[in-house]
Amino acid sequence: MNFSTFMSFVSYLKDGISLGAVYAIIALGYTMVYGIAKMLNFAHGDVIMVGAYISLTMMTKTGAPPVVALLVAIVGCTLLGVTIEFVAYRPLRKASSPLAVLITAIGVSYLLQNLALKIFGAGPESIRDEQKIISGSPVVLFNGQLAISRITILIVICIIIIMCALTWFVNRTRRGHAMLAVSEDRDAAQLMGVNVNGTISLTFAIGSALAAVAGVLLFSAYPSLTPYTGSMPGIKAFVAAVFGGIGSIPGAMIGGILLGIIENLAKAYIPSGSQVSDAIVFAVLIFVLLIRPAGLFGKNIQEKV
């Protein structure tokens, strides 16, 4: 392998890490909600889309700077996540069949997509360089052989900070301990004085705030936005969460990054890779789950009878 070929591999690897870090941020939202509330919120990907649209609307209609637009998107998505949990999921928390929550989540997903279609239309929206959360010339290394965009650097920094902050929050704070208690045994936690409804709402709030961050970063890195933008990244992020071990915060990060790397390398090195990369990603997931059913960092839990 000559130096040029090696640098091409490093470039593909860098792009895969950037994409995987976005998947990881989304996967953290999935793993938080499932780990605490034991619910699969398949509307999570569409909350990403809503966050991107809020940010874009703030910048184009009010002239707000990107950082302010991001903060507004975080607030908007947080309120949206709490509302979805209160209106759609809380009444079904004790439903006899878990399929009720799953079907409701799919319904909420289609509702958000169609509302976005009605408000913004089906045409793709684009973003100018000055509207990105970070812009500027890329960082060039190895005498111009490798260029790393500033948004890539920001995405990687963000996922590291978010993972560390969530790990500290869950393990070191009173609210985090309440989440762990609800995750372990919801009824016992309520008997011990834990506000179960408030704890689950907080979990949805955190997950939706992360979705807003992921939406803005995704839109900055891949500047094309439609009402369906969040669907496939949301599904892949769920795959990443399962891949890493759903319920595990480090697992969501590692799973997301590995997923992005696998997808990007498949596109680069496999003939017609762009057409089969999604199939390869799911095939790798199946292979991993056959070996480790709980995922890379998940724990097999034996139910007591």
Question: pLDDT for 21-72, tens place per residue?
Answer: 999 999 998 888 888 877 888 889 999 999 999 999 999 888 889 999 999 9
Show Cβ contacts of residue 96 under 8 Å, excluding neighbours closer than 6 positions: none
Structural Rg of the chain based on CA atoms: 20
Question: pLDDT for 85-98, tens place per residue?
Answer: 999 988 887 776 77
pLDDT at 211: 93
Q: Report, in this order, helix, strand and coil percent for the chain, each rounded to 5.
A: 75, 5, 25
Taking 50 as the threshold, does the pLDDT of residue 305 lie above it?
no
C-alpha–C-alpha distance, residues 217 and 196, integer Å: 32
Taking 80 as the threshold, does the pLDDT of residue 130 lie above it?
no
pLDDT at 30: 87
How many residues are present in the chain? 305
pLDDT at 57: 92
Cα 74 to chain center, whole Å?
A: 14
Q: pTM surpassing 0.85?
A: yes
CB contact at 8 A, 194 and 203 = no
pLDDT at 206: 93
Question: pLDDT for 98-124, tens place per residue?
Answer: 788 888 989 999 999 999 999 999 888
Write the burial class of residue 38 (CB in 10 Å: 0-12 exposed, 13-18 middle, 19+ buried): middle
Residue in the block written with tokens 């993972």? 163
In DSSP notation, 222-286 reads S--B-TTTTHHHHHHHHHHHHHH-TT-HHHHHHHHHHHHHHHHHHHHHSTTHHHHHHHHHHHHHH
Kindly indicate the confidence band of residue 138, based on its pLDDT and cuts at 50, 70 and 90: confident
Question: pLDDT for 148-205, tens place per residue?
Answer: 888 899 999 999 999 999 999 999 999 999 998 998 888 899 888 899 999 999 999 9
Strand partners, 125: 225
Kindly indicate the confidence band of residue 300, based on its pLDDT and cuts at 50, 70 and 90: low
CB contact at 8 A, 196 and 189 = yes
As a whole number, the mean pLDDT across the chain is: 87
pLDDT at 25: 92
Provide the CB-side half-sphere exposure for 221 (13 A, CA).
Answer: 25
Question: pLDDT for 193-245, tens place per residue?
Answer: 899 999 999 999 999 999 999 999 988 888 889 999 988 888 888 888 888 88
